[in-house]
Amino acid sequence: MPYDISENKRDWYREVSSRSRARKKAATNGELPYDLNNINKPILQPKKLMAQKPKNGLRVLSLFSGGGGLDLGFERAGFEHVASFDILDICGETLKANRPHWEILSGINGDVTEVVWSSYKGKVDLIHGGPPCQPFSIAGKQRGGHDERDMWPAFIDAVLTLMPEAFVAENVPGLLDPKFRKYIDEIILSPLTPDYHIIKFKAVASDFGVPQVRTRVILVGFRSPKAANSFQIPEPTHLPQDSLFSSGRFTPGARAALGLKDIGFDCFSPTLRSGFTGPRKSTSILNSKASQRVWEKLHIWPNGVQKSRQDAVMFPPENGHFRLSVQDCAILQGFPEDWTFQGATYQILGQIGNSVCPPVAYAIARSVSKALGF
């Protein structure tokens, strides 16, 4: 459906788009001044936020795998991969490129509503996944169970068929809005609580070293009451840079994380918008007017993200701000440099923006592992 905006606003978008195309053409022709010696070198190394743990013997099945945020975090925490499912072929290509030895099912084969889960019985100790969040997000118009993208029933079906020792589900904070209380009680909790003890909590990305304002709702379920009682909600491992009277580790601001020069101001990046949201194939990570003001203060341009850092340097914005590459967006999401994404730029941004930040997934995985006695 088209955006419900005024004709004046449409004219403004057309003008901006026209100027952007002209400037992009000039950049492609080498007509804009640039200096390839100014390519940024990020200082944030997400792998250091996720020290590789020894294999713990727990086997994990991944649903709605996307760009692999949960998969990577659980792998780093010592879990053994069983299979990953995603309806998008491009997500399967990304996972196969990074982990060619994994069992990856995507496209038609990745449709979790059509899988016969009984073939995995006895092979899975934990199921994790983030059922599509659009039905509960503001951007997705919050239609909940009336949205055809609602995949909670499919996730629950997999859990109740395989009956793993635990499950981890992730979604947007909007899931906890009062308007969805009946949905949560009847569609999610009611079928699961006879067999699982469920803990709900919020996970904040910056608490785990990721320089982004991003909060997600996490549901963790255990079959064993003992495991549920011993589960500890992950404690923050990092603090904001402006925290006082602490000797703990600090989460850097977005500029520092990306290795940009000091301009006298830095803060966490706003939540990255997914390139899969909205009717256009957007290469913007801008998600609101409020976030636009933050990006402006950071002197970072959130639109027209480029495929590489070199391309970004060769295509400077009109206002002289720093243009992002997909690699920079991945760093701001907590993905290590060696985790590569396949597809067009908007598809890469879609995979990044839809992912659970890997260090957050890692912290959750570590807590679940300990609760299960590993």
CATH code of 213's domain: 3.40.50.150
Name the nearest CA neighbour of 72 among 105, 49, 44. Answer: 49
Q: How many CB atoms lie within 10 A of CB 97?
A: 14
Cβ distance 287 to 295 under 8 Å? no
Kindly tell me if the per-residue pLDDT of 280 is higher than 90.
no
**Is residue 130 domain-shared with residue 35, that is, in the same domain?**
no
Residues 6 or more apart whose Cβ sits within 8 Å of residue 307: 325, 326, 345, 348
Mean pLDDT score, 306-315? 95
Other C-beta atoms within 10 Å of 146: how many?
A: 10
Residue at 267 is within a domain: yes
* DSSP letter assigned to residue 195: T
Pairing of strands 59-63, 250-251: unpaired
Percent of the chain topping pLDDT 90: 74
Is 269 in the same domain as 198? no
- pLDDT, residue 33, reads 82
Tokens encoding 3: 């955006």
User: Same structural domain for residues 318 and 365?
Assistant: no
Whether 91 and 170 share a structural domain: yes
Asked whether residue 308 carries a pLDDT value surpassing 70, the answer given is yes
* Residues noted as catalytic: 133
Same domain? For 222 and 361 the reply is yes
Is 23 part of any domain? no
> Is 22 contained in some domain?
no
Element of type H or E holding 25: helix 7-28
Asked if residue 14 belongs to a domain, the reply is no
Same domain, 222 and 306: no
Query: What would the mean pLDDT of 207-215 be, rounded to a whole number?
Result: 97
Q: Tell me if 5 is assigned to some domain.
A: no
Distance CA 257, CA 86 (A): 30
Q: Which two tokens stand for residue 252?
A: 């850097």
How many distinct structural domains can be found in the chain? 2
293 CA to centre of own chain: 22
Residue tagged 């002209």 (tokens) = 22
For the chain, the distance separating the N- and C-terminal CA atoms, rounded to the nearest angstrom, is 49
**55 Cα distance to chain centroid:** 24
* C-alpha neighbours within 13 Å on the C-beta side of residue 191: 16
Grade residue 333 by pLDDT with cuts at 50, 70 and 90. Answer: very high
Q: Which domain holds residue 308?
A: 31-43+250-354
Please answer whether residues 172 and 134 qualify as being in contact, where contact means their C-beta atoms are separated by less than 8 angstroms. Answer: no
Stated pTM of the model? 0.91
Residues 326 and 220 in one domain: no
Residue 175 counted as domain residue: yes
For residues 206 and 274, membership in a common domain is answered with no
DSSP secondary structure, 326-362, as one string: HHHHHHHHT--TT----S-HHHHHHHHHHSPPHHHHH
Q: How confident is the model at residue 111 (pLDDT cuts 50, 70, 90)?
A: very high
Is residue 21 domain-resident? no
Pair (102, 203) in one structural domain = yes
What tens digit of pLDDT does each residue of 185-197 get?
Answer: 988 999 999 999 9
Q: Are residues 114 and 227 in the same domain?
A: yes
Q: In degrees rounded to 5, what are phi and psi of residue 14? A: -65, -40
- Asked whether residue 203 falls in the same domain as residue 263, the answer is no
- Unique residue bearing structure tokens 């760009």: 67
Tell me, what's the pLDDT at 31?
80
Give, as one character, the DSSP assignment of residue 269. Answer: B
Query: 3-class DSSP state for residue 86?
Result: strand
Let me know if residue 232 belongs to a domain: yes
Does residue 196 share a domain with residue 132?
yes
Residues with Cβ within 8 Å of 248's Cβ and at least 6 positions away in sequence, in order, are 238, 239
Other C-beta atoms within 10 Å of 53: how many? 16
pLDDT for 15 equals 78
What's the one-letter identity of residue 248?
A: G
- Mean model confidence pLDDT for the chain: 90
